[in-house]
Amino acid sequence: MSGYKLYYFQGRGGAEKCRLAFAAAKIEYEDVRVPIEEWPKEKASGRPPFGQMPFIVTPEGKILAQSGTIMKYICKKGGSIHPSIHPSNCPSVRSLVRSSFFRLCPADSLDEATADMITDGVTDVFQQFSKILYEKDETKKEEIRKEFYGTTLPPRLEKFEALLKNRDEGKGFFLGEKLSYADITFFDFFNNFHSKGKEDVPGELEKFPLLVEHYKRVLNVPEIKEWVKKRPVSEF
Ligand SMILES: N[C@@H](CCC(=O)N[C@@H](CS)C(=O)NCC(=O)O)C(=O)O
């Protein structure tokens, strides 16, 4: 056990992209599922930085919140080849590392910014989508749903497909040959919130053949596949 602890409620929810990152990075962790009745006490303790979950406690006892931050941090930790040849302390292998060796988090700053751009783009879409989840009035909920799936999402998916196509004609991942946290974020939005954690390709991607293949490609990364198959089954 590496000593990482991830805290979240029962279910995939906002923590699942962190769990996918732990799986892809092959970092062991304790998947702490806080019972809802215990949450007020944990929140009041002041330990979660923003009074929210997910948060992690690192082996050094440091605490980090924000799902995107945690996901990227874990990808960076799991993505270093070996500390002794990390580009920051071994300039002679910098270009080699940049060009071919990264796993999950690119060493090149422009590639990293590209992964961040895609991740932030998914967050924008998620913010629009979450209005459906939070609306209590059924009539308004239906209106928001129609607007999201009819008007908001399709042109965004066109843009994501074009971004995917920028590298290797869209036959790989968002940064080309290697999986990164950008792919994990995009996959999680559809697998978690549309396919309800099942392996099916969600219908929303149907008109975007490159995105359909990308979804399958991410799902078929052995570490991702293994986690998706063994994780606890839940509605959310
Ligand atoms: N931006 C944050 C949002 C975190 C968030 O909204 N967490 C919710 C659960 S998904 C939460 O902790 N709700 C309980 C509360 O606020 O008391 C992230 O991405 O981690």
Instruction: Please tell me the predicted confidence (pLDDT) of residue 176.
Output: 94
Instruction: Please tell me the predicted confidence (pLDDT) of residue 94.
Output: 54
- How much distance in Å is there from the Cα of 54 to the middle of ligand 1? 7
What average pLDDT does the chain have? 92
pLDDT tens-digit readout, 137-159 = 999 999 999 999 999 999 999 99
How far is Cα 233 from Cα 196, in angstroms, rounded to an integer?
Answer: 9
Judged by average pLDDT, the poorest of 43-47, 57-61, 90-94, 189-193 is 90-94
Q: Determine contact, residues 78/25, Cβ cutoff 8 Å.
A: yes
Return the best residue to mutate from 33, 52, 129, 184 for the ligand 1 pocket (most ligand atoms within 8 A of CB): 52
Instruction: Please tell me the predicted confidence (pLDDT) of residue 110.
Output: 96
Amino acid at 109: S
Q: Dihedral (C-alpha) 16, 18, 21, 26: value to the nearest 10 degrees?
A: -100
- How much distance in Å is there from the Cα of 170 to the middle of ligand 1? 33
pLDDT tens-digit readout, 163-202 = 999 999 999 999 999 999 999 999 999 999 999 999 999 9
Instruction: Please tell me the predicted confidence (pLDDT) of residue 147.
Output: 98
Ligand 1, atom nearest to 39 Cα: 17
Instruction: Please tell me the predicted confidence (pLDDT) of residue 83.
Output: 46
Instruction: Please tell me the predicted confidence (pLDDT) of residue 185.
Output: 98
Ligand 1, atom nearest to 54 Cα: 20
H runs (alpha helix) in the chain: 16-25, 39-44, 67-79, 94-96, 109-134, 138-147, 153-165, 181-193, 209-219, 222-230
| Percentage above 70 pLDDT, the chain | 89
Classified as helix, coil or strand, 168 is helix
pLDDT tens-digit readout, 81-113 = 544 555 556 556 555 554 445 689 998 999 999
Q: Check pLDDT > 60 for residue 54.
A: yes
- How much distance in Å is there from the Cα of 59 to the middle of ligand 1? 23
Say yes or no: CB of residue 98 within 6 Å of ligand 1. Answer: no
Q: Determine contact, residues 174/180, Cβ cutoff 8 Å.
A: yes
